[in-house]
Structures are given as structure tokens and as C-alpha cells.
Amino acid sequence: MILILMFVFWCVCNARGFEKETYNIGGIFSDETQKLAFQIATYRANNKYPLSEFKLVPITFQISPFDTLQMYKVTCDLLQMGIVGLFGPSSTYSSPYIQSVCDAKEIPHIEMHVDFHIKRNDTLVNIHPHPQVLSRLYKDLIRTYDWKRAIVLYEDEDSLMSVGPLLEYHNQIGRKIILKQLETTDTGNYRSLLTEVKSLGETNFVLACSIDSLEDILKQLQQIGMMTETYSYIITNLDTQTVDLTPFQYAGTNITAIRMLNPELTEVMEIADNLQRLRKETSSNVPILLQAWRTKLETALIFDAVELFYDTLYNLTVGKKKVIAAVPVECAGDSTWNEGYSIINLMKSKIVDGLSGNVQFDVEGLRTNFMVDILELSLGGLMKIGEWNSTMRSFKFQRPQKPQKIKEHNVFNTTFTVLISINPPYQMLTETTAQLVGNDRYEGFGIDVIQELSKLLGFNYTFVEQEDGSYGVLNKTTGIWDGMMGEIIAGRADLAITDLTITSERESAVDFSEPFMNLGISILYRKPEPVPPSLFMFVSPFSFTVWLLLGVSYLIVSIAIFIMGRLSPSEWQNPYPCVEEPQYLINQFSFRNSFWFILGALMQQGSELAPISISTRTVSGFWWFFVLTMVSSYTANLAAFLTVTTLVTPFNDIDELAEQKEIKFGAKNKGATANYFRDSNLTKYKKIWSYMVHNPDLMLDDNEAGVKKVETENYAFLMESTTIEYVTERHCALAQVGGLLDDKGYGIAMKKFSPYRNEISTAILQLQEKGVLTERKIKWWKEKRGGGKCSAKKENSEATALDLQNVGGVFLVLFVGSILGVLGSLAEFSCYIYRRSKKEKISFKEEFQKEMRFIINFKQNVKEVNTLPNESSSDKNLLDVTKYNY
Ligand code: GLU
């Protein structure tokens, strides 16, 4: 019995052990996204520690930020339910009311919004960096940029609190700082204030405004002409990256922004995805697309706050160190919650790694030791250029800051370290049996360019090889470049030359000289294959239209000859030349004979028929001319068709390549070509990029591997046209397919704001104008190292069917000839009718009708001589007329 009781007790204990303790946490928010973020954050925290013995249950409310009464009521309801912590609200206006309740009842209160109060209540933890701490960053930026004068534009009291401390700089070390409030004449219209500011002639500005007004203010600055390269702005809002700054990135304005949340972090992207999904599920109208870059800092801070809170509770309760029990607390009355302070105190001493970086608090409960990313607006959008540490107050820039004035340096007698990578024909190891040292070890187009530049500008140089051959890739998370780009940025090399494509992404990190070579993306593929000869090759010389017209011409000319034959009196001949006065005449151009005569001529075989009258001879002459020309053209073109091999290409351009499935394709991994597709906005190129991403084995490390793959497999390699040209000069089985997809150039890279850039660019232009670069290109492309191997073997040009454009003139001549023939026969016929009517003493009309009646009787090829109008030919029986019907 005792044993059974012990077993039951053990079971109960274990069953309780499996069931996790639950703690309610309250959340008061004024927008749905934050409410959902709070729920996801709790879910995420609960799943982060699978062995923990409790889970948090979120109880959320969405209340207007100005409805303090309702907020107070909800807070009391939450306290009565027994909560272990209260998160929110996200409004500066109503927050103090909630804070006083939590303080009185000793409930941990966690805020995520910006709070300007210096003194923080005991139960409050605000996870947003204090504006005063951030104001140190603005000061440090002004000092680093060495702004002697600046105007601080602030929107309201809140923003003044964050930028006010900048006034400390006024009159210090000769600096002048002016504060100006962005006053509006009517809602959202700052133009008159901005115009006034413009008239002051200042060019450096600190802009402190809410994220909702930022875009409008920037637009209005642009409208009044304050968005040019003369102006510089520091934007203090930590959510600046959530605004689309594309319209301002091309004007060259120096815009510096700051952020604490990196939208490229996988966790931030996942959260944005989850939020988007939940929003879709919970509300029918999803107003904005919650992309990672649109995620506001406050939303991310909800995640950090919940994680910090969970971590604190976990630390308190793990191993049952402390038993925390939530108890209902009444708003009215003196009751408090005893555990509140233990949670708050531990929370303030904890350090967690959140979405916004290191989450840590100082003795005053303000966030400390955090990093802020410094961003700069460039052609590629906002790019990270460095970071700032709030405790050390130190910057770590990835590239040197733009000096106020770039001093021009003379490169004469300077010695440059020139970084190269081995890649034929740009840079190669010199082919020799002798042991070489120094610069002599290298040769190639790029080497010649540097040599020529040094001759022009008088600088010395030492080539250094990039061991891994990498041109440089930007790590979007750390903002750091590797490869040749990294070496230039770090200052370990002065210049870098290879087939280094000038791209906007690279241009934002280094400076490029003017391009020394122009190119575009194209396709390298095997040469087209010959088509097997067709059985009906003989029809190929003429197009279908020409064959059709030839047939129609044959019919028309045959019929014309037949009619003209009947009309022309001289075609009616005496069948018995020895009978001087024949009674009947016959016509050789019967219907069948006419067709036979024309066909005989067409086949160049002739027939026994010979036209007699002028009209039939005219038409025959033109027909023979026509036949002569057509047959010669046919023979010549047929010869071309038989000797030339017709080639077939499975695709003619990138679109056709992307559409088909049989031929695989790729490009150089992480090269400018692949990045072109990655960054393109065109759907067809996006499709190609997604194909490349899903087939990493088709993305090759270098061009050489690409060429080998094209030669050995059914593979097309997307590469730059200049390199294709080089390859096809040496690999005769390969060819470029299609034209160029874009237009760009190779440049010499050097440090940002390099003082040598202008001189080097001018020298490159001079080399171009003198034809030195063209000459060097011919040398390395067509002459050296097996160049010109394939140019001797020029393919026969393709034969194409002759179209109407080619032989149309011959048809025209035939047509004119036929018309002349018809006119001639009509003239002959009229003369004949006239003579007959005179002889027979009847009118022209009567004679004409009589003759016509006979002529249109096509069966009759025998004609009576001296037929009188009233005589019938049928009475005559002197000749057997039937035998003349051919
Ligand atoms: N020129 C390219 C670059 O600078 C490499 C070759 C390519 O991507 O086709 O990255």
C-alpha cells in the first residue's frame, strides 16, 4: 500500500514537472505591427530555452496613444490578472501615467520608445538609447567631418532635446552652430523656412525630425535646390534606412545617416517575413509590405526587450533558485508585488546580444556600450561606411573620411605599389627560361598600360600580385571588402589593375580612373554546327515568293503569246507554201503550243515554234531575257548553297538562352557579370539570377574554368566581351553569341579621394587619343601568345535564298516587254482590220466584230482566206481543217 502511494506521489510530481509554469506579461501598443511583434517575440523567447521551466504568456492591447484613461484602465486590469512585467506603451505622451502605476505597484515596466527624461523611475527599463547619448555621436560626427559651421534643423521639442547638446560646440574651437526649428506655414510645408535657411549660405546641416516627416523635408530641400553636391546633411533619425532615398542618391549630396538595426541580418529578415505573414492572417488589409529594411528600430527593440526579460526570469528561476509567483495587484489600495525589484535589478545588470546589438545598462539605467552604424548615401543606396561605439566614443571607418578639400598631388617621382592579378591577357607571367625578378616577371595588357602611364607621368611602380586572385566582394553584414578592393581600401596598395569592372558598388568604396577599355556582357558558346544537306536543296536558291511569281509569269506570258498569236495577222500562215492562193491559214500558237513554247524557253531547250509577228517576237525576246537572268541567278546561288555549309545556333541571344532547358549556363562567381544579374530590375535578368543562385555548380571561379567548361560540356558562359574576343582568337571552336547586354569599362582602382585620380585619368585619355591602347590591344589579343590562330580560318559567309528584292528588276523588264508585245499586236490587228474592211467594202466595226468572233473561238486554228461576211466557213470542205488543230 505504501509503495502504491509512493508511486502515485512520484507520478503527480513528475506530471507537474512536465507542465511548465506560465507567467503573464502585458503589452500595450498603439499599432498592430508592434502588437504582433510582441507576440512573435514571446513565442521566440519561449522556444529559445527548451529546458526552461516556465513560459511567458502575452496579453496584448492596442490603444490610441492619446487615450490615457483607457490605458490606465487596461493597466489596472492587467495588474489584476497578475502580470510579471508590462511592456509599452510606445508613446511619450501616455507613458508617464503607466510608469507611475508600475512604480507604485512595483511591477517591472519595459519601454522601447525614445524617452527624453534624464531621471528614470526605479521600476523602469528603457531599452532605447537615450537621446543625450546619441547626441554625442552627432558631435563626434561634426568633429570628424571638421564642420566649422552648421545649421541644426529640428522639428519639435522632442528632436530639440536630441540635438540641443550640439550647441555646446557653438563658439568652441571657432565653430558656429545655429539652431533652427522647421516651422510649417501650413501642414507639411517647410519651403519658406528652408528658403530662408538657404539664403544664409550654409552648406552643412544636421536634420532632426520624425521619420514620418523626413521624406517630405528631403523632397522640399530638393525642390528648393538644396540637394546638390555642395550640401552635406547628418540625419539623426535611427530609422532613416526605412525611407526610400532613391530620388536623392544621384545628386551627389553628402548624406550621412545612422542605424542600430542591420536589415541584412537573417534574424531581422525572418522577423519581417513572420510579421508580414501574421498581418495577412489577422487583417484583410495589409497596408505596407514589411520588408526587412522597413523594420523600424522600435519593433526590433520589442524583441530585445522580451529576450532580456525572459533571460532575467530564467536566471532568477533556474534550478528553483527563486520561486516567482505572479499575484493579482489592485490599482486602488496599497498592495505591491514583492518580486518586481528582484527582476528589475537583475535586468539592469544583464548583458544580452539582441537585434540592436549589445544590450547593456549603466548605473542610471540608460543603455550603454552599443554600436551605431554610420551610413552614407551613394549611388548604390545607403552604404555602411563605419561604426561608432557609444562608450569609447570612437569611430571605426571602413574608408577614410572625405577631406574638406582634396589636394592635387603630382605623381612625378612617386612610387606606387600596383596590385595585379594573374589573368590573361591583362596580366601574365613572362614567358622565358631566364630567372626574372621584380616587375619583369609580369607582362600583359595591364602591365603595358601602367608602363605607358609611368612614361607619361613619371612615376615609379612595383607590381604586387594578389595571391588569391580575388577582385573583392563586399560582405553586406560587416560592410567590409576583401580581395583587391580590400587591399586598396586598407592602403596596402596604391593602384589596382586587372579586368576590374567599374561598378557603382565598387565606386562607393574606392575611386576609379577613366576606363582604359570598354566592354559589355555577352555569351561564349561553341561555334554553330553545320546543318545536314536537305533533299530539296535545289529549291533553296529562290525564296517562295520568287518561285510563285515565276510560275505566275509563266502562265501569264504563255496566255499572252496565245492571244497575241491570234490577234497578229502575220501569225496566220499558209499551211502549203506551194499553193499560192490558199483558202485557209493556220496559226502555230494554239493554246497548247503557246505553253510549250514558253516552257521550252524557260528550260533553255527551245521548241520548233518560232514567232513571226513583231508583237510575239517582242514578248518572246523579253521572256528569253528574263529566263537568261533568272537561270543565271539560280545557277549561281545554287552553287553557293551547295558549297556553303549552313550553320545552326541553338540560341541567338540571352533571352533564347534563358528560355531553353538543354544548355546550362553560368558566369564567374561573385564577378561583375554575375552581380549585373543580381542587381538588375528586369524580370528576365532576375530569372537568370535565380537560375544562377539555384545552380551554384555552374558558377565558376575564373574565366579559364568557364572556357574549359564551354569546350567540354553543353554549357554557355556569360562573360565580358573583351575576354570573349581574346578567347575566340585562340579557341577556334568557340564564338560569341548575340550582342552586348550592357556597356561598361575597366578602370584602375585607387583609394577613395585619391589625389592622383585626375592625373591618371587624363593620361589614360591621352593614351587612348594617341592610339596607344588600341595598339597594345592588338598586340595582346591578336599577335602574342597564339593570337590570330582563328582569324585565318574565316568561315564562308552564309548563302541566303534570293528574294524579290534581288530579282524584282527582271520581273519588271518582263512585264514591260509583255505590255509592249500586247500593244504591238493590237496595232497589227487594227491595221489588218482596216485593210480588210477597205477590201471588203464594209465598215471597220463590222470587220472588227467578224474577226473578233473568229478569234475568240479558241478552238479554231484554221482561218479562211477572203471570207465574205455572209459566207460560212463550215461550208468549205477543200481542206481537212481538223488536222491543223494542234
Ligand atoms: N571583370 C569582372 C569583375 O571585375 C570579372 C569577370 C566577370 O564577372 O565576367 O568582377
Please work out whether the CB of residue 672 comes within 6 Å of at least one atom of ligand 1.
yes
Instruction: Give distance in angstroms: CA of 717 to centre of ligand 1.
Output: 12
Instruction: Give distance in angstroms: CA of 653 to centre of ligand 1.
Output: 20
Of 523, 673, 702, the residue with max ligand 1 atoms within 8 A of its CB, to mutate for a pocket test, comes to: 673
Of 720, 721, 744, 746, the residue with max ligand 1 atoms within 8 A of its CB, to mutate for a pocket test, comes to: 720
Could you read off the pLDDT of 143-182 as tens digits, one per residue?
A: 888 888 889 999 888 888 888 788 777 766 667 888 888 8
CB 694 within 8 A of CB 649: no
Instruction: Give distance in angstroms: CA of 757 to centre of ligand 1.
Output: 22
Instruction: Give distance in angstroms: CA of 425 to centre of ligand 1.
Output: 14
Please work out whether the CB of residue 500 comes within 6 Å of at least one atom of ligand 1.
yes
Q: Tell me the domains of the chain and their CATH numbers.
A: 21-129+284-353 (3.40.50.2300), 131-259+373-397 (3.40.50.2300), 415-519+747-781 (3.40.190.10), 537-643+803-884 (no CATH), 648-742 (3.40.190.10)
Q: Is 282 annotated as a binding residue?
A: no
Low-confidence ranges of the chain (pLDDT < 50): 1-17, 284, 286, 288-289, 403-407, 867-886
CB 749 within 8 A of CB 496: yes
Instruction: Give distance in angstroms: CA of 658 to centre of ligand 1.
Output: 20
Instruction: Give distance in angstroms: CA of 292 to centre of ligand 1.
Output: 29
Which ligand 1 atom is the nearest neighbour of the CA of 676? 8
| DSSP assignments along 20-42, one per residue | PEEEEEEEEESSHHHHHHHHHHH
Please work out whether the CB of residue 673 comes within 6 Å of at least one atom of ligand 1.
yes
Instruction: Tell me if the bond preceding 129 is cis, omega within 30° of 0.
Output: no
Instruction: Give distance in angstroms: CA of 721 to centre of ligand 1.
Output: 11
Instruction: Give distance in angstroms: CA of 672 to centre of ligand 1.
Output: 4
| pLDDT at res. 13 | 42
Instruction: Give distance in angstroms: CA of 445 to centre of ligand 1.
Output: 16
| pLDDT at res. 527 | 87
Which ligand 1 atom is the nearest neighbour of the CA of 500? 4
Please work out whether the CB of residue 524 comes within 6 Å of at least one atom of ligand 1.
no
Instruction: Give distance in angstroms: CA of 740 to centre of ligand 1.
Output: 15
Of 500, 510, 689, the residue with max ligand 1 atoms within 8 A of its CB, to mutate for a pocket test, comes to: 500
Of 668, 699, 709, 724, the residue with max ligand 1 atoms within 8 A of its CB, to mutate for a pocket test, comes to: 668
Which ligand 1 atom is the nearest neighbour of the CA of 718? 9
Please work out whether the CB of residue 668 comes within 6 Å of at least one atom of ligand 1.
yes
Spatial distance between the Cα atoms of 328 and 124, rounded to a whole number of angstroms? 20
Please work out whether the CB of residue 719 comes within 6 Å of at least one atom of ligand 1.
yes
| pLDDT at res. 513 | 93
Instruction: Give distance in angstroms: CA of 494 to centre of ligand 1.
Output: 21
Which ligand 1 atom is the nearest neighbour of the CA of 503? 4
Of 426, 445, 468, 471, the residue with max ligand 1 atoms within 8 A of its CB, to mutate for a pocket test, comes to: 471
Please work out whether the CB of residue 727 comes within 6 Å of at least one atom of ligand 1.
no
| pLDDT at res. 3 | 41
Q: Within 478-569, where are the H helices?
A: 483-490, 504-507, 544-567
CB 192 within 8 A of CB 138: no
Please work out whether the CB of residue 385 comes within 6 Å of at least one atom of ligand 1.
no
Instruction: Give distance in angstroms: CA of 843 to centre of ligand 1.
Output: 94
**Spatial CB neighbours of 239, under 8 Å, sequence gap ≥ 6:** 211, 259, 296, 297
Residue with cell 527551245: 606
Please work out whether the CB of residue 326 comes within 6 Å of at least one atom of ligand 1.
no
Which ligand 1 atom is the nearest neighbour of the CA of 720? 9
| pLDDT at res. 48 | 84
Spatial distance between the Cα atoms of 68 and 54, rounded to a whole number of angstroms? 32
Instruction: Give distance in angstroms: CA of 605 to centre of ligand 1.
Output: 66
Please work out whether the CB of residue 721 comes within 6 Å of at least one atom of ligand 1.
no
Which ligand 1 atom is the nearest neighbour of the CA of 506? 4
Could you read off the pLDDT of 409-422 as tens digits, one per residue?
A: 578 888 999 999 99
Q: What is the C-alpha radius of gyration for the chain, rounded to an integer number of angstroms?
A: 47
Spatial distance between the Cα atoms of 263 and 383, rounded to a whole number of angstroms? 12
| DSSP assignments along 550-582, one per residue | HHHHHHHHHHHHHHHHHH-GGGEE-S-TTSSS-
Instruction: Give distance in angstroms: CA of 587 to centre of ligand 1.
Output: 82
| pLDDT at res. 871 | 39
Please work out whether the CB of residue 720 comes within 6 Å of at least one atom of ligand 1.
yes
Which ligand 1 atom is the nearest neighbour of the CA of 501? 4
CA distance to 34, 58, 232, 298, 584, per residue, from 283 (Å): 14, 19, 42, 21, 105
Burial class (CB in 10 A: 0-12, 13-18, 19+), 769: exposed
Q: Is 526 annotated as a binding residue?
A: no
Among candidate residues 275, 259, 279, the one with its CA nearest the CA of residue 267? 275
| pLDDT at res. 2 | 45
Residue with cell 536566471: 315
Sheet strands (E) in 209-266: 232-235, 254-259
Please work out whether the CB of residue 671 comes within 6 Å of at least one atom of ligand 1.
yes
Please work out whether the CB of residue 471 comes within 6 Å of at least one atom of ligand 1.
yes
Among candidate residues 259, 255, 256, the one with its CA nearest the CA of residue 241? 259
Of 426, 468, 499, 709, the residue with max ligand 1 atoms within 8 A of its CB, to mutate for a pocket test, comes to: 499
Q: Is 757 annotated as a binding residue?
A: no
Please work out whether the CB of residue 676 comes within 6 Å of at least one atom of ligand 1.
no
Of 484, 501, 519, the residue with max ligand 1 atoms within 8 A of its CB, to mutate for a pocket test, comes to: 501
* φ, ψ (nearest 5 deg) of residue 677: -70, -35
**Spatial CB neighbours of 460, under 8 Å, sequence gap ≥ 6:** 413, 414, 415, 416, 454
| pLDDT at res. 746 | 96
Please work out whether the CB of residue 501 comes within 6 Å of at least one atom of ligand 1.
yes
Instruction: Give distance in angstroms: CA of 556 to centre of ligand 1.
Output: 64
Which ligand 1 atom is the nearest neighbour of the CA of 674? 8
Instruction: Give distance in angstroms: CA of 723 to centre of ligand 1.
Output: 10
Cell reading at 155: 522639428
Please work out whether the CB of residue 499 comes within 6 Å of at least one atom of ligand 1.
yes
Please work out whether the CB of residue 498 comes within 6 Å of at least one atom of ligand 1.
no
SS3 134: helix
Q: Is 501 annotated as a binding residue?
A: yes
CA 593 to chain centre: 70
Please work out whether the CB of residue 584 comes within 6 Å of at least one atom of ligand 1.
no
Q: Atom 6 in ligand 1: which residue has the minimum CA distance?
A: 671
Instruction: Give distance in angstroms: CA of 499 to centre of ligand 1.
Output: 7
One-letter amino acid for residue 322 of the chain: K
Instruction: Give distance in angstroms: CA of 500 to centre of ligand 1.
Output: 6
